[in-house]
Amino acid sequence: MKNRKPSERGPSLGPQPPVRKRVGEVTAQERDEIRALFERKNALLELFRGLSESNTLNNTIYEKIVADLGKATTRFTDWWSAKSTQHHWENVSGWQWQIDFDDCSIYLVKP
Longest dimension (CA), the chain: 67
Nearest CA to 19 among 99, 109, 96? 109
Count CB-CB contacts under 10 A for residue 36: 14
| Each residue's pLDDT tens digit, 15-61 | 666 689 999 999 999 999 999 999 999 999 999 888 888 777 788 88
What's the whole-model pTM score?
0.77
Residue 102 pairs with which residues in a beta bridge?
Answer: none
Question: Cα dist. 20→31, 44, 95, 108 in Å?
Answer: 19, 28, 9, 6
Task: Give the per-residue pLDDT at 12.
Answer: 53
